Amino acid sequence: MTFMVPAVNVADLKETTLLNMGIFALFVAVTMIIVIKASRNNKTAADYYAAGRSFTGPQNGTAIAGDYLSAASFLGITGAIAINGYDGFMYSIGFLVAWLVALLLVAELLRNTGKFTMADVLSFRLKQRPVRIAAAISTLVVCFFYLLAQMAGAGTLISLLLGISDWGGQALVIIVVGALMIMYVLIGGMKGTTWVQIIKAVLLIAGAAVMTLWVLAIYGFNLSSLLGGAVEASGNPNLLNPGLQYGKTETSKIDFLSLGLALVLGTAALPHVLMRFYTVPTAKEARKSVVWSIWLIGLFYLFTLVLGFGAAALVGAETIKAAPGGVNSAAPLLAFHLGGPLLLGFISAVAFATILAVVAGLTITAAASFAHDIYASVIAKGKADAATEVKVARRTVVVIGLLAIIGGIFANGQNVAFLVALAFAVAASANLPTIVYSLYWRKFTTQGALWSMYGGLGSAILLIALSPVVSGAKTSMIPGANFAIFPLSNPGIVSIPLAFFLGWLGSVLDKRLEDTTKQAEMEVRSLTGVGAEKATDH
């Protein structure tokens, strides 16, 4: 998920800028036509937020893969493997295994119990207002940090791929990305956004597959000789062994454990991933979509293994590090090495499309959460009609889009990996304990939910603020100051267990009893899908 600056020598870029722009313009034109067509019958709130629950499992699974495989995964992991070898590969594994949590524990029960947002499920059998507000706040915080990371990355990545290097030009690129994203979401709603995700996922996976086969063909489809080539080119025999990046000190080892914990537990608590489960008609389709996404994402991460070591062998770590994008230039440089400007142009356009699609998915999730959880349920006290709610959601899209543009311009050049890791850690700390407890633990109470959500959210953000990511090191956001009293750059190992503990403690100490009828209703609904399935099978 590191995802800083991009790829490629500026000299290479000059030749391919027009080509990149052409391929990207084509992508925008084609997807825009599809979005407009798909949006013709967007009428109800369910149409707008949940695409009328009309997607099939495989379609939704592809869209989930599109949401999940951000440019951060593609450029970041390939680069991490090319430079840090084996340690980079461990990211892929964490990101993939995390999906089992979603599949086994969360996806189907969530689909059966909610309507549009994560807060629907969390507040189902607890006190509506406080729990809904807490869930909406954590959704907005997670989405905002994720958004900021994507926008800031878009600025640097795309500007360099298109050969724009001055600050004003980069700001212009961020504004264009933001404006396009607002248009997709306003016109297309969830349906349009989902189609953009599907197209992008297919392009990204196809592009990675072509490059993977190409690299393997060079080495006679022998993985061992590819690895040998990578070691030889890097001159470091430890490239294939663990510990190159994280094995340096005892603290860095614990930091890796903390990151591993946040990654494996964060995925099933990311609001924009959870919201995707509502775009399918039944729990069975929700299951199918997770299965599809596990296969696609798993396949993609296997490709990154070959691409990463391929970049190390064919391009070389020194060339990659010296390129303007540093570590993250590995994949585009490899594309240029293999297929010249044409493949580089294609891969660059796919990277741009990736950011656009991920940003659109995040925006609609945040807008739905604000309109549905805060406006309709709390401000209008459940009296708003669906049309007003959708109107509020659309306005929220514009506000969030503008905030993301402004934030992206100011965060441009900041350490983007920090923002993504924060989003994962916050999601795992603030949301996962409450999701798991409310689905599986009968005695869970409102007080437990509030303690866990606010405690998890607060502790995760506080610990990151006090970590070396923000101050006290050369790579910090504020390198001049030093208030880093927390040694780890990822808070997961502290904040996630703390949030689970607070959820338990708050429930045990709660004197108020929860409604057991609601608990029964939630349990029956979640396991049987009663009332949530479309009236097709009776």
The footprint of another protein on residues 250-269 (CB under 8 A) is 253, 256-257, 260, 264
What sign for the dihedral angle of Cα 444, 448, 454, 456?
negative
Q: Which is nearer to another protein, 254 or 465 (CB)?
A: 254
262 contacts 428 by C-beta, under 8 angstroms: yes
Answer yes or no whether residue 125 interacts with another protein by CB under 8 A. yes
Q: How many Cα atoms are found within 13 Å in the side-chain-facing hemisphere of 1?
A: 25
Using CA atoms, how far residue 488 sits from 61, 246, 414, 455, 465, in Å, is 34, 12, 19, 19, 11
- In the three-class reduction of DSSP (H, G, I as helix; E, B as strand; rest coil), residue 445 is classed as coil
Least distance (Å) between residue 302 CB and another protein: 7
Return the number of the residue (97 or 473) whose C-beta is nearest another protein: 97
Q: Are 50 and 279 in contact (CB under 8 A)?
A: yes
Q: How far is the CB of 423 from another protein (least distance, A)?
A: 21
> Which residues ranging from 272 to 291 are in contact with another protein (CB under 8 A)?
284, 287, 291
Under rule CB under 8 A, which residues in 65-84 are in contact with another protein?
Answer: none
Question: CB-wise, 202 or 240, nearer to another protein?
Answer: 240
- With respect to another protein, which residue has the nearer C-beta, 127 or 321? 127
Inter-CA distances, 168 with 12, 93, 164, 437, 442, Å? 22, 39, 9, 48, 55
- Region of 9 on the Ramachandran plot (φ > 0 left; ψ -120 to 50 alpha; else beta): beta
Decide if residue 242 touches another protein (CB under 8 A): yes
Minimum CB–partner distance for residue 346 and another protein (Å): 27
In the complex, what is the shortest distance from the CB of residue 210 to another protein, in angstroms, rounded to a whole number?
21
E strand segments, 2-104: none
Q: How far is the CB of 430 from another protein (least distance, A)?
A: 20
Site mask, another protein, residues 459-498, x = CB under 8 A?
----------------------------------------
First to last CA, the chain: 45
Take residue 66 and report the two structure tokens written for it.
């599109």
- Residue whose CB is less far from another protein, 41 or 238: 238
Minimum Å gap between C-beta 3 and another protein is 22
β partners of residue 471: 478
Instruction: List binders of another protein among 154-183 (CB under 8 A).
Output: none
Integer angstrom CA distances of residue 400 from 132, 373, 412, 434, 491: 20, 16, 17, 26, 27
Smallest gap, in angstroms, from Cβ of residue 445 to another protein? 16
Q: Which of 198, 191, 177, 183 minimizes the C-alpha distance to 397?
A: 183
- The answer to whether residues 174 and 408 touch, using CB atoms and an 8 Å cutoff, is yes
Taking the least distance from each CB to another protein, the nearer of 253 and 443 is: 253
Interface residue with another protein among 58, 130, 169, 228 (CB under 8 A) is 228
State which residue, 166 or 517, has the beta carbon closest to another protein: 517
- At residue 478, φ and ψ (nearest 5 deg) are -120, 80
Among 302, 380, 402, 477, binds another protein (CB under 8 A): 302
Q: Is 443 in the site for another protein (CB under 8 A)?
A: no
Q: Within 317-336, which residues bind another protein (CB under 8 A)?
A: none
CA nearest 139: which of 402, 414, 348, 363?
Answer: 363
- Which structure tokens are listed for 1? 């998920």
For residues 130 and 243, which CB has a smaller minimum distance to another protein in the complex? Answer: 243
166 vs 536, beta carbon nearer another protein: 536
- Quote the CA–CA distance of 364 and 185 in Å, as a whole number: 7
**Shortest Cβ distance from residue 385 to another protein (Å)?**
13
Candidate list 166, 168, 220, 224; residue touching another protein; CB under 8 A? 224
Residue 149: closest CA among 26, 322, 272: 272
Q: How far is the CB of 231 from another protein (least distance, A)?
A: 7
The answer for residues whose C-beta is within 8 angstroms of residue 301's C-beta and 6 or more apart is: 73, 77, 92, 93, 95, 96
| CA dihedral over 224, 226, 232, 235, signed as positive or negative | negative
Binding mask 183-222 for another protein (x = CB under 8 A): ---------------------------------------x
- Hey, how many other C-beta atoms are within 10 angstroms of the C-beta on 240? 16
Among 195, 301, 336, 346, binds another protein (CB under 8 A): 301
Which of 113, 328, 396, 438 lies at the binding interface for another protein (CB under 8 A)? Answer: 113
Task: Candidates 19-27, 147-155, 225-233, 349-357: pick the segment binding another protein (CB under 8 A).
Answer: 225-233
Indicate which single residue of 114, 310, 345, 492 sits in contact with another protein (rule: CB under 8 A). Answer: 114
Distance of closest approach, residue 113 Cβ to another protein, in angstroms: 7
Q: Does 524 bind another protein (CB under 8 A)?
A: yes
Other Cβ atoms less than 10 A from the Cβ of 535: the count is: 6
**Residue 427: closest CA among 84, 41, 40, 102:** 102
Q: 225, 236, 319, 388: which one contacts another protein (CB under 8 A)?
A: 225
Nearer to another protein, 100 or 402 (CB): 100
Numbers of helices and strands, H then E, in the chain: 22, 0
Query: Measured between alpha carbons, how far is 147 from 373 in angstroms, rounded to an integer?
Result: 20
Tokens 């099978």, located at residue: 537
The continuous run of DSSP H or E covering 154 comes out as helix 128-161
Size of residue set near another protein by CB under 8 A: 73
Lookup result for tokens 């996922």: 201
Residue 350 Cβ vs another protein, minimum distance, rounded to whole Å: 23
Q: Looking at 10, 18, 25, 530, which residue binds another protein (CB under 8 A)?
A: 530
The 83-102 contact track toward another protein, x by CB under 8 A, reads ---xx-xx--xx-xx-xxx-
